[in-house]
């Protein structure tokens, strides 16, 4: 009997222990904080505290946490091995790192405390490759309704000076399926170590991580907003992710599924539904498809099933989303959070749609820059202020002339900027560079400069910044360019839809741009056509315009302040030229070329930061 009791108790302890492990293993985390580097010049004040506090918060919301402070490379690699072994069967895996990190040739490395990097190549062998961590997390089988989260508060500075390819901050990374990569600041930027107990980013992350009302995307969104506010927008957190379901890290239920659809047969699918809309802050005016439906907490019934264009406006601020009406009797809830972006205004314009048989005129409300503030520099380049905001980048599948690389996705630009109202002219180029490389020299000083490579443009920007005594001029990112081109529109051109995809005259494009249908195979003086609603000329046609980004496929999901891939072969240019079909001049159309190439159909315009 005694022997049986011992066996029974042992078995009970084993079962209870295994049961506890199975529950805790649903949410697994590895937390690393490196403060006390052996090279005292590299020491940081807060990462050790960050690791302690992050461990405490994660444990409080049910995570099984492995913590490592002041880790050597061997200890960091061993902790990753242990972490990966616990991930099998987990629903959420979090890797968190606070400390020094560097990028070398587009790859990111986390620096152990004994690091003594004497050359760029040392980073591959004497530090932890973030790509290795991602790979181990993927190999552990996280996928489907599961998610990986990688948090890198590792951009405080570049501690190793003089290495040619070792850049400041971290490089952008494409998130694998089911993964969120959260950076404390934008690619190639540095983050603050903080004046208190924690790094600036981690301080705000700790406050949001345990909020049971925030799904994981909202955790990082709120953290980013608070960091930007705290640092007066000197530090802009950034995420890369693929679409994931609403996951609440601090709730009892790990994954919250979307409402189920009813049968998709014609007989079973109702043709109306309902939508309930709330706003944060409260008491904003709510519009559905351009019609005001009420003020906050509005239930709208008898809506057609499908996408609704939902906008909230309060005190000059707005947020635009698409609410999806599921079916009758099921309320779809949508919360619009009004960010304190630069004020915007709206105006009503006529949209003209022409087909072979009919001409339709309809009114549409669009967003316009409220102040239209402009500035001019010493050589006469004029810039207009563009507000921060969100837009749908790419094109719908129904847009004529669409290419497969124009996947529609939502982009938020958290900072406003100034955009040059015209393409850089030959006269402006000569004022800085002292020469004129253009093919169409006879066109004159007011015609756009062309036959300039992407590298030529970087040289121009460097000299212009030196002349003006600032470092605020640069090429726009691809997202900034398209946002400025659209000027609040969602159509093929800023003034309406496309009706001709080849060289035939398109009535909307004829008003705004020079293309093969009207340019007579040559460039033309800038600002001869209509501007868009933000006061920008020649965004469609005349010459293509270089952007900052390498060309690649768009990332998936909701993207904030994208800067494109960290490496590539070709740089993007946008907008179409005097020799292109109408389809190539659409706001969404993408093209690219080698950065060393100077093409007679490619020029550029500049962006100026605040």
Per-residue pLDDT tens digits for 20-52: 333 345 899 999 999 998 888 788 888 999 999
Domain containing residue 390: CATH number: 3.90.1580.10
Q: Determine the pLDDT at residue 457.
A: 98
Is residue 348 in some structural domain?
no
Measured at the CA of 485, the angle between CA 235 and CA 317, to 5 degrees, comes to 55
**Does residue 514 sit in the same domain as residue 541?**
yes
SS (H, E, C) 130-175: HHHHHHHHHHCCCCCCCEEEEEEECCCCCCCCCCCCEECCCCCCCC
Contact at 8 Å (CB) between 505 and 564?
no
Domain containing residue 244: CATH number: 3.40.50.1460
Burial (CB count <10 Å: 0-12, 13-18, 19+), residue 11: exposed
Whether residue 561 has pLDDT greater than 80: yes
Is residue 353 in some structural domain?
no
Contact at 8 Å (CB) between 454 and 461?
no
Q: Determine the pLDDT at residue 269.
A: 35
Rg (CA), the chain: 27
Per-residue pLDDT tens digits for 95-133: 999 998 888 777 888 999 998 776 666 777 888 999 889
Tokens of 358: 């009919």
Burial (CB count <10 Å: 0-12, 13-18, 19+), residue 596: exposed
Pick from 294-303, 440-449, 535-544: least confident: 294-303
What is the C-alpha separation between 538 and 531, in angstroms, rounded?
Answer: 7
Is residue 1 in some structural domain?
no
What is the C-alpha separation between 254 and 269, in angstroms, rounded?
Answer: 30
Closest CA to 120 of 158, 164, 156, 159: 164
pLDDT band at 10 (very low <50, low <70, confident <90, very high): very low
Is residue 99 in some structural domain?
yes
Dihedral sign computed on CA atoms, order 415, 216, 103, 69:
positive
Q: Determine the pLDDT at residue 65.
A: 95
What is the C-alpha separation between 607 and 273, in angstroms, rounded?
Answer: 44
What is the C-alpha separation between 522 and 506, in angstroms, rounded?
Answer: 18
Contact at 8 Å (CB) between 338 and 320?
no
What is the C-alpha separation between 487 and 605, in angstroms, rounded?
Answer: 16
**Does residue 79 sit in the same domain as residue 114?**
yes
Domain containing residue 312: CATH number: 2.60.40.2070
Tokens of 473: 């001029």
Per-residue pLDDT tens digits for 181-216: 998 887 656 666 566 788 889 988 998 888 777 888
Span 506-519, mean pLDDT?
95
Name every residue whose Cβ is closer than 8 Å to that of residue 495 and which is 6 or more positions away in sequence: 351, 489, 508, 511, 512, 530, 532
pLDDT band at 454 (very low <50, low <70, confident <90, very high): very high
Is residue 18 in some structural domain?
no
Q: Determine the pLDDT at residue 197.
A: 82
pLDDT band at 304 (very low <50, low <70, confident <90, very high): low
Whether residue 523 has pLDDT greater than 70: yes
**Taking the model in full, what pTM does it have?**
0.47
DSSP class of residue 106? T
What is the C-alpha separation between 292 and 368, in angstroms, rounded?
Answer: 19
Number of domains in the chain: 3
Whether residue 159 has pLDDT greater than 70: no
Q: Mean pLDDT, the chain, as a whole number?
A: 79
**Does residue 313 sit in the same domain as residue 236?**
no
**Does residue 248 sit in the same domain as residue 278?**
no
b (16+ CB within 10 A) / e for 392-405: bbbbeeebebbbeb
**Does residue 282 sit in the same domain as residue 199?**
no
pLDDT band at 54 (very low <50, low <70, confident <90, very high): very high
**Does residue 474 sit in the same domain as residue 557?**
yes
Phi first, then psi: what are they for 275, rounded to 5°? -140, 130
Is residue 396 in some structural domain?
yes
What is the C-alpha separation between 412 and 408, in angstroms, rounded?
Answer: 13
Contact at 8 Å (CB) between 194 and 200?
yes
Dihedral sign computed on CA atoms, order 47, 53, 56, 59:
negative
What is the C-alpha separation between 583 and 395, in angstroms, rounded?
Answer: 12
Q: Determine the pLDDT at residue 125.
A: 80
Q: Determine the pLDDT at residue 383.
A: 95
Is residue 245 in some structural domain?
yes
**Does residue 220 sit in the same domain as residue 179?**
yes
**Does residue 477 sit in the same domain as residue 413?**
yes
Name every residue whose Cβ is closer than 8 Å to that of residue 115 and which is 6 or more positions away in sequence: 37, 39, 42, 73, 100, 126, 127
b (16+ CB within 10 A) / e for 442-452: ebeeebbbbbb
Percent of the chain with pLDDT over 90: 45
Per-residue pLDDT tens digits for 247-269: 888 754 333 222 222 222 222 33
**Does residue 166 sit in the same domain as residue 207?**
yes
Pick from 273-282, 546-555, 597-606: least confident: 273-282
Domain end, chosen from 222, 256, 290, is at 256
Span 154-180, mean pLDDT?
64
Residues, the chain = 610
Question: Is 562 or 311 the better-scoring residue by pLDDT?
Answer: 562
Is residue 583 in some structural domain?
yes
**Does residue 148 sit in the same domain as residue 225?**
yes
Q: Determine the pLDDT at residue 422.
A: 97
Whether residue 94 has pLDDT greater than 90: yes
pLDDT band at 60 (very low <50, low <70, confident <90, very high): confident
Tokens of 407: 């996947």
| Domain, as residue range, for 126 | 23-256
What is the C-alpha separation between 255 and 251, in angstroms, rounded?
Answer: 9
What is the C-alpha separation between 219 and 179, in angstroms, rounded?
Answer: 15
Domain end, chosen from 337, 360, 386, is at 337
Strand partners, 130: none
**Does residue 249 sit in the same domain as residue 382?**
no
DSSP class of residue 41? G
Pick from 43-57, 201-215, 325-339, 350-364: least confident: 350-364
6-9 long-range contacts, Cβ below 8 Å, gap at least 24?
none
**Does residue 152 sit in the same domain as residue 114?**
yes
Q: Determine the pLDDT at residue 52.
A: 92
């Amino acid at each position: 009997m005694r022997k049986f009791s011992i066996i029974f108790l042992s078995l009970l302890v084993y079962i209870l222990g295994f049961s506890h492990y199975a529950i805790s293993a649903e949410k697994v985390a590895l937390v690393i904080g490196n403060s006390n580097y052996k090279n005292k010049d590299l020491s940081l004040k807060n990462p050790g505290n960050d690791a302690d506090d992050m461990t405490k918060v994660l444990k409080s919301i049910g995570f099984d946490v492995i913590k490592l402070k002041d880790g050597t490379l061997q200890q960091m690699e061993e902790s990753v091995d242990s972490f990966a072994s616990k991930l099998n069967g987990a629903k959420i895996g979090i890797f968190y790192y606070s400390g020094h990190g560097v990028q070398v040739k587009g790859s990111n490395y986390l620096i152990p405390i004994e690091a003594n990097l004497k050359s760029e190549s040392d980073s591959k062998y004497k530090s932890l490759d973030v790509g290795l961590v991602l790979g181990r997390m993927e190999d552990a089988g996280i996928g489907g309704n599961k998610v990986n989260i990688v948090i890198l508060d590792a951009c405080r500075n570049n501690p190793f000076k003089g290495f040619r390819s070792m850049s400041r901050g971290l490089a952008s990374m494409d998130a694998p399926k089911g993964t969120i990569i959260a950076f404390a600041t934008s690619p190639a930027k540095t983050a603050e170590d903080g004046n208190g107990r924690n790094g600036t980013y981690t301080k705000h992350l700790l406050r949001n991580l345990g909020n049971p009302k925030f799904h994981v995307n909202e955790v990082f969104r709120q953290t980013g907003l608070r960091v930007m506010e705290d640092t007066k927008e000197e530090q802009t957190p950034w995420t890369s992710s693929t679409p994931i379901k609403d996951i609440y890290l601090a709730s009892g239920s790990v994954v919250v599924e979307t409402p189920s659809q009813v049968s998709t047969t014609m007989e079973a699918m109702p043709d109306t539904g309902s939508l309930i809309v709330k706003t944060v802050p409260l008491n904003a005016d709510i519009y559905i498809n351009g019609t005001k439906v009420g003020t906050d907490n509005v239930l709208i019934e008898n809506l057609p099933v499908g996408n609704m264009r939902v906008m909230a406006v309060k005190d000059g601020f707005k947020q635009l989303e698409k609410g999806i009406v599921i079916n009758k009797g099921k309320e779809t809830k949508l919360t619009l959070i009004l960010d304190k972006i630069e004020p915007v205004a709206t105006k009503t314009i006529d949209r003209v749609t022409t087909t072979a048989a009919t001409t339709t005129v309809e009114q549409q409300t669009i967003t316009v820059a409220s102040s239209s503030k402009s500035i001019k520099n010493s050589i006469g380049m004029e810039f207009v202020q563009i507000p921060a905001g969100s837009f749908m980048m790419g094109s719908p599948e129904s847009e004529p002339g669409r290419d497969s690389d124009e996947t529609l996705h939502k982009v938020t630009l958290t900072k406003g900027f100034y955009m040059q109202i015209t393409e850089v002219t030959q006269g402006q180029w000569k004022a800085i560079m002292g020469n004129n490389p253009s093919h169409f020299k006879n066109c004159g000083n007011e015609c756009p400069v062309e036959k300039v490579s992407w590298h030529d443009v970087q040289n121009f920007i460097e000299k212009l910044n030196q002349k003006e005594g600032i470092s605020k001029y640069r090429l726009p990112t691809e997202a900034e360019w398209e946002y400025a081109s659209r000027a609040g529109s969602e159509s093929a051109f800023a003034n309406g839809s496309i009706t001709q995809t080849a060289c035939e005259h398109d009535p909307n494009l004829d008003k705004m741009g020079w293309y093969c249908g009207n340019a007579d195979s040559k460039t033309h003086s800038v600002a001869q056509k209509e501007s868009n609603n933000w006061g920008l000329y020649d965004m469609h046609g005349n010459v293509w315009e270089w952007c900052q980004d390498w060309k690649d496929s768009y990332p998936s999901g909701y993207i904030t302040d994208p800067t494109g891939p960290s490496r590539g072969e070709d740089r993007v240019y946008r907008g179409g030229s005097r020799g292109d079909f109408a389809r190539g001049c659409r706001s969404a159309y993408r093209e690219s070329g080698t950065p060393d190439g100077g093409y007679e159909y490619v020029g550029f315009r500049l962006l100026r930061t605040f």
